[in-house]
Structure 1
């Protein structure tokens, strides 16, 4: 169930998506509130789960992760236990940074980062292909990131 946001809450979310480290004083000024009501609004948005957390955006390449692959995974069967075992392995593999259950020909789409093509090959062949229930994978590689981690549209 989505919460109907008022104009002030939408503005708070816009500012925090641009800079999650904005102080409450700066945030209050930006949205036209005094500090205490602003902090109450932010806490309320956190408690309702609208604000899910705060994090730093890291530069993947500066960390030596030169390869980004999107891996489509097809499972053998849709057995509950095998699916759970597969998802446990996905969660354990730190180089899988996103996992989406999909409609269509493939069951899951994984976003995988790796140091090199050889490193990706190791992750795919000794890792993903060996995960419980995996029938096959198909990988595509990002040549250029055009847009990433864009702010969510807040709406009216």
Structure 2
């Protein structure tokens, strides 16, 4: 778990993200590098990536990620990702098995954090990170990943 002293790690992570993306304008390339950066930096995670909103189907569709193959489509308002997205609210779930309607893409995932992504009021999707560790994500993770998404939004 990231501790208070590791908030510097999030500041460094977000500065690294900024420098990694600053000269690129392609959304998919930037989301791909962002998911890779998270996968390489965060401890005790088994999936890091993005689901992108498809207005026509009103679903979140699998985007760039790092980890095992994942569910391709999630209905808006369903599971942790769809519920967080619909409410535009960050969800930290300490035990996904207790979340009503949880969609299990990887049976090894036990906790999850989802950060919705809206840019200029328009729905983009979500950042989704899973962990095999129960209670993996702290308040510091929540704050650091909100800032990560703020940086990312400038480049997608």
Normalised to the residue count of structure 1, the TM-score between the two structures is 0.25
Q: Which has the larger radius of gyration?
A: 1
More strand by share: 2
Normalised to the residue count of structure 2, the TM-score between the two structures is 0.25
